[in-house]
Amino acid sequence: MKREDWQGVYALHGDALDRRVRQALGKLPQERRAVHVRRRWAILLAAVLALASAIALAAGLLLSDRMDARTSAQRALAAQYGFTPEMEAFFDCEVSLDGRTVVFSPRGMEQIAQRLGVYTVTLAEEGASASWSHDGEEIGKALTSPVWDTALLEQALARRAAGEDWAEILLPERMLAVNITKEQALAIARRAAEAELGADALAAYPQAEAHLYYEDAQIADSDGHGVRRWEVWFYQEGRIGEEWLTVRLHADDGQVFDCARHTQEEQAQIETQDAALIRQADARSAEAQARAEITRAQAVELARDALAQVYGLTQAQLDRLEWQEDYAPSLYRMEGDMPIITEWFWLWQGDREAFTAGDGLYTVEVNAQTGVIENVLYDSGLSGNG
């Protein structure tokens, strides 16, 4: 796969410093007049938070209790089952309130998720123990097995890294058939639009584009067709966002199953909804920035240290790690009462197009008051089709 294809894919806070803050506040003397109490608490809280931030930065890296638990659980899975960082994107991770149980539940593409099972790690003073919901079952050796252990998932990931998409890996040949060419798809779509919308329906839309896409395999099975579909767009140059027609058809036999006219009003509704969400996010971002005690430069430094510790990135990998300064419109956000700075990093190690273990997008969430690392995530891009 090409580098640009890869780059296109993509609560608990009981850490030690927070406990110290609560302990300090718990020892404050009670004043008779509430207003004095509130003022004194505010002053002392600010001082304690500033001190906590300074301590965190001076002491180096501090992980939250939740992050500590998750990291320990991932190491246990690696030791017992061969779990790799590239597999993380296929699972949601949930840490129990007491931090002693970490559960990895499959997510994402249904055709993959239903094969993976659930991994559970129990953390105790004497060590960590892991289990899998399919322990003791007979597991096949080929990817046609209804259950995948980490060995089969690794086999699938190797094929994905070599350039195959998930449909090619998961589905039989009959469901991948493309018997209709692009030119044929355009001709079929023209006839369908004229039949459905009138003989002159395309007069206002002289331009046409067609592209192949995948339909959900379960839907494809239910309608008796393969997973490949053609979608054809008819539009006028310079007015693509105002009004256009789409025709969709099966790529195995050319049967049309959808023909529709679209207007700018539909797009305007979507943009209005998006704008409202953006305004809400911006307000929370402004609040988080106002409450931040560390700078972005400090957050980036802590984030890089976290990647080195959590994922064991070498100095050579860290040297190639690219900070995505403008990856998202809002880097600050509130998580409950906690201001968070999120930093993104991109790693591509080879000079060629081939995927190398460790390549992908890294996300680090830093407590903007204390500098504690709240979360670290890695997405190799292998879980999607690029």
At 175-185, the pLDDT tens digits run: 999 999 999 99
Mean pLDDT computed over 72-96:
97
| In the chain, alpha helices (H) | 3-8, 16-26, 34-59, 65-81, 110-116, 150-161, 166-170, 182-197, 217-223, 264-291, 296-311, 315-320
At 206-239, the pLDDT tens digits run: 999 999 999 887 777 788 899 999 999 999 887 7
| CA pair distance 179, 216, nearest whole angstrom | 19
At 11-52, the pLDDT tens digits run: 333 343 333 333 333 333 333 333 333 333 333 344 444 444
* Averaged pLDDT score across all residues of the chain: 83
Count of C-beta atoms within a 10 Å radius of residue 203: 8
Q: What percent of the chain has pLDDT over 70?
A: 78
Residue 272: pLDDT band with limits 50, 70, 90: low
- Please, what is the end-to-end C-alpha distance for the chain in angstroms? 9
In the structure, how many helices (H) and strands (E) does the chain have?
Answer: 12, 13
Choice among 66-70, 159-163, 234-238 with the minimum mean pLDDT = 234-238
Among candidate residues 83, 113, 138, the one with its CA nearest the CA of residue 102: 83
